[in-house]
Amino acid sequence: MSVTSQTPTVVPVPFDPQADAKILNEAMRGFGTDEKSIIHVLAHRPNAQRLEIASQFRTLYGRDLVNDLKSETSGDFSILLVAMMTPLPEYYAKELHDAIMSWKQIQVLGRGKNVLIEVLCTKSNQEIMVIRQAYEALYFKTLEEDLRGDSSGTFRRLMVSLCNAGRDEIMVVDENSARTDARELLQAGELRLGTDERTFIMILCQRNLAQLQLIFQEYYNSTGHDIEEAIKNEFSGNSKDGLLAVVRSIKNQSAFFAKLHKKSMKGLGTNDSGLIRLVVTRSEIDMVEIKAAYQSCYGESLADAIKGDCSGDYMKCLLHLIGEA
């Protein structure tokens, strides 16, 4: 979804899936487990190649590789390996489903909000459609149905709109249209009593990324302040967080994801499910840029942050995935 360069740290390599399957089998045979060999193979193959290895493993040994990994490893390291071995659309669908079900059960979004924002605010139309298909195949309901639920609200409408994958992706810009949209946003928020949230949702979810950059600049030209300030003043709670996430991911996606990495390791205890999701998915997209943004924003490397919050084979595997082992 970004208009800037994207450089992954885990890339396709020439490989022999049968040979890799044999290495993994040897690593889990007998007494003890050779975690180093497991990491060396799986952390240096993208998701598609890992799935080929799993297929070869079943052919050679008549066993499920993921089940073997679960039985031979434990804790966060085991959870990380299972995430790495899950087809990406299915993985995203499961993460979204867990977030929505938690939301429905306790009526509080909590960390689930981050999952919805992270996935739906940053994926292309095609990626969202593939995730929607995986979601329906797994849960026999559409993602939109579960997002709508039994209540309303600006945040829910924002998520449903993003889920519809209706963003213009042609990347043609029009200065006159940008000025018009900037004026519409101003009239929907700062220049009226109350806020017309539907106008914010419509523009932020439908315009292409390059056009939105121009709209944000026109808004600043008209008001002398950033559109983020308007959103902070006009919205609150989940709605504010969702709209700000859309804006920030469009302005600078690397910094946006650097901040999510930081939040996953901030405070008392690590949000390991969030950290795992971020590292597993972004390592195949733009981890090089995220690492640079992290260093620039927080004055330390992402690798050092992971070393400070994680340990053991879990830490080692994360470091391999981000290209810092």
pLDDT digits (tens, 9 = 90+) for 104-137: 765 555 667 788 988 998 899 999 999 999 999 9
Residue 9 lies in a domain: no
Residue range 240-284, pLDDT digits in tens: 989 999 999 999 999 999 999 999 998 767 799 999 999 999 999
CA distance 117 to 95: 12
Verify that 110 and 44 share a domain, yes or no: no
123: nearest Cα among 150, 91, 154: 91
Verify that 146 and 196 share a domain, yes or no: no
Burial class, 124, CB count within 10 angstroms (exposed 0-12 / middle 13-18 / buried 19+): middle
Domain span at residue 304 reads: 253-321
Verify that 110 and 158 share a domain, yes or no: yes
Verify that 247 and 258 share a domain, yes or no: no
Residue-level length of the chain: 325
pLDDT at 78: 98
Confidence of residue 2 (pLDDT cuts 50, 70, 90): very low
Residue 5 lies in a domain: no
**Cα 189 → chain centroid:** 29
Residue 7 lies in a domain: no
Within 13 Å, how many C-alpha atoms sit on residue 74's CB side? Answer: 2
Last residue of a domain, one of 229, 251, 273: 251
Q: Can you list the alpha helix ranges (DSSP code H) found in 171-311?
A: 175-188, 197-206, 209-223, 227-234, 237-251, 253-264, 272-282, 287-298, 302-309
Residues 6 or more apart in contact with residue 319 via CB below 8 angstroms: 303, 306, 307, 325
Residue 296 lies in a domain: yes
Last residue of a domain, one of 251, 274, 308: 251
Residue 208 lies in a domain: yes
Verify that 236 and 273 share a domain, yes or no: no
Residue 83 lies in a domain: no
Higher pLDDT, 277 or 2: 277
Verify that 101 and 159 share a domain, yes or no: yes
* Mean pLDDT within 226-232: 95
Residue entry with tokens 């733009």: 286
Residue 2 lies in a domain: no
> What is the CATH classification number for the domain harbouring 51?
1.10.220.10
Number of domains in the chain: 4
CA distance 246 to 218: 17
Confidence of residue 212 (pLDDT cuts 50, 70, 90): very high
Indicate the SS3 state at residue 258: helix
CA distance 158 to 111: 17
Confidence of residue 149 (pLDDT cuts 50, 70, 90): confident
Last residue of a domain, one of 233, 251, 269: 251
Residues 6 or more apart in contact with residue 236 via CB below 8 angstroms: none
Residue 1 lies in a domain: no
